[in-house]
């Protein structure tokens, strides 16, 4: 009642959308990834710092390398999803900051000259963008299966470098039948929200 977003969109993005554990064989195209990115790139980050990086695992050889670093329970779905993406935080995002935040290009040096501050900001803002990405996958009529159960150090070593911290691996595709568990309960608002 208090929302202006169309109820069908509410269902698509939140209410009926679910974390998929199995997928059909229908491929996820680069055009779909482009459309998702072109939408979710507008989600807000601090200083527009845009620290999320996305590694699409498309070759069978790369897929195999990734699967072996996933937790055992995540291996079958990572092996079979139409597309798998590694989402990471770029700890050297500040190099792009003068272009990304043109009304205060000094932000790069004023706030982000120290690596620990950069890592914190990179991680938090990439996590926000990871959520926007999940929403974007759903906006494309696809299901996302985000996973944090993997050997992060091994995935970083295999696919990234010391400047990129993996946050999650996301399976993407059309959900198969019975792709999910029953919906788990959510916290009541009074367990989450307090007023002062």
Range 32-61, binding a copy of itself (CB under 8 A): 32-44, 46, 48, 50, 52-59
CB of 78 to a copy of itself, least distance (A): 14
The total of other beta-carbon atoms located within 10 Å of residue 136's CB is 23
Does 165 engage in binding with a copy of itself (CB under 8 A)?
Answer: no
Give me the phi and psi of 70, to 5 degrees please: -85, 155
| Beta carbon nearer to a copy of itself, 162 or 196 | 196
β-bridge pairing 83-90 and 143-147: unpaired
| Beta carbon nearer to a copy of itself, 7 or 177 | 7
| Distance of alpha carbon 45 from alpha carbon 125, whole angstroms | 6
Task: Mark residues 57-96: x for contact with a copy of itself by CB under 8 A, - for none.
Answer: xxx--x---------------------------------x
Q: Tell me which of 75, 79, 139, 176 binds a copy of itself, using CB under 8 A.
A: 139
| Distance of alpha carbon 127 from alpha carbon 186, whole angstroms | 21
| Beta carbon nearer to a copy of itself, 3 or 177 | 3
Q: Tell me which of 67, 70, 81, 135 binds a copy of itself, using CB under 8 A.
A: 135
| Distance of alpha carbon 38 from alpha carbon 158, whole angstroms | 28
| Distance of alpha carbon 166 from alpha carbon 160, whole angstroms | 8
Torsion of CA 72, 68, 149, 175, to 10 degrees: -80
Q: Which of residues 144-163 bind a copy of itself (CB under 8 A)?
A: 144, 146-149, 159
Question: Of 74-82, 135-143, 171-179, which part binds a copy of itself (CB under 8 A)?
Answer: 135-143
């Amino acid at each position: 009642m208090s929302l202006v977003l169309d109820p069908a969109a509410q269902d698509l993005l939140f209410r009926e959308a679910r974390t998929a554990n199995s997928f059909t064989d229908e491929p996820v195209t680069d055009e779909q990834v482009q459309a998702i990115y072109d939408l979710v790139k507008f989600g807000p980050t601090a200083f527009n710092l845009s620290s999320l990086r996305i590694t699409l695992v498309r070759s069978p050889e790369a897929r195999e390398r990734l699967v072996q670093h996933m937790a055992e329970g995540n291996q079958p779905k990572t092996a079979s999803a139409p597309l798998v993406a590694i989402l990471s935080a770029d700890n050297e995002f500040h190099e792009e900051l003068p272009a990304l935040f043109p009304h205060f290009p000094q932000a790069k040096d004023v706030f982000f000259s120290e690596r620990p501050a950069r890592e914190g900001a990179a991680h938090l803002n990439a996590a926000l963008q990871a959520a926007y990405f999940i929403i974007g996958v759903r906006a494309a009529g696809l299901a996302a299966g985000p996973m944090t159960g993997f050997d992060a150090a091994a995935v970083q070593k295999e696919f990234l470098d010391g400047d990129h911290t993996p946050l999650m691996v996301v399976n993407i595709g059309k959900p198969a039948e019975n792709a999910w568990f029953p919906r788990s309960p959510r916290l009541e608002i009074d367990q989450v929200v307090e007023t002062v």
